[in-house]
Amino acid sequence: MKVLLVSYDNDSYIHTFPLGIAYIAAVLRDCKFDVEIWHQDVHHYSDEALKIKLDKEKYDFIGIGMVAGYYQYKKLLSLSKAINSSNNRPIYLLGGHGPTANPEYFLKKTYADVVVMGESETSIVDLVRSVAEKKSYKDVSGIAYRNNDEVIINKPRDLIKDIDSIPFPAYDLFPMNYYRLRRRPHSSDSDFCASILSGRGCPYKCTFCYRMDKGFRPRSTDSIIEEIKLLKKDYGITYIEFADELLMSSVERTENVCTEIIKANLNIKWSCSGRLNYAKKDLLMLMKKAGCVFINYGIEALDDQVLKKMNKVLTVKQIIAGIEATLMAGISPGYNVIWGNLGDNIETLNKGVDFLIKYDDCAQLRTIRPVTPYPGSPLFDTAVNKGLLKNIDDFYEKKHLNSDLLTVNFTELSDDDFHMALCDANKKLLNNYYNKKKKSMIKKTEDLYIKKNVEFRGYRHT
Q: What is the CATH number of domain 2-153?
A: 3.40.50.280
pLDDT computed for residue 214 by the predictor: 78
pLDDT computed for residue 215 by the predictor: 80
SS3 content of the chain, % helix, strand, coil (to 5): 45, 15, 40
What b/e string do you get for 92-104 counting C-beta neighbours within 10 Å, with b at 16 or more?
A: bbbbbbbbbbbbb
Write the DSSP string, 127-196. HHHHHHTT--GGG-TTEEEEETTEEEEPPPPPPPS-GGGSPPP-GGGS-HHHHTT---TT--TT--EEEE
Nearest CA-CA partner of 35 in 84, 58, 79, 1: 1
Q: Where are the domains of the chain?
A: 2-153, 180-449
Sign of CA dihedral 156, 159, 165, 169: positive
- Which strand (E) or helix (H) includes residue 458? none
Nearest CA-CA partner of 66 in 33, 128, 32, 109: 109
pLDDT computed for residue 212 by the predictor: 62
Fold designation for 180-449: pyruvate-formate lyase- activating enzyme (3.80.30)
> Distance between CA atoms of 119 and 201, rounded to whole angstroms?
10
Torsion of the alpha carbons at 126, 132, 134 and 139, rounded to the nearest 10: 0
Q: Say if residues 191 and 239 touch (Cβ distance below 8 Å).
A: yes
pLDDT computed for residue 462 by the predictor: 63
Q: How many CB atoms lie within 10 A of CB 416?
A: 9
C-alpha count within 13 angstroms, C-beta hemisphere, residue 184 = 28
What secondary structure letter does DSSP report for 245?
Answer: S
Is residue 431 helix, strand or coil?
helix
Q: Output the tens digit of pLDDT for each of the chain's 462 residues.
A: 999 999 999 999 999 999 999 999 999 999 999 999 999 999 999 999 999 999 999 999 999 999 889 999 999 999 999 999 999 999 999 999 999 999 999 999 999 999 999 999 999 999 999 999 999 999 999 999 999 889 999 999 999 999 999 999 999 999 999 999 999 999 999 999 999 999 999 999 999 998 767 788 999 999 999 999 999 999 999 999 999 999 999 999 999 999 999 999 999 999 999 999 999 999 999 999 999 999 999 999 999 999 999 999 999 999 999 999 999 999 999 999 999 999 999 999 999 999 999 999 999 999 999 999 999 999 999 999 999 999 999 999 999 999 999 999 999 999 999 999 999 999 999 999 999 999 999 999 999 999 999 999 888 876
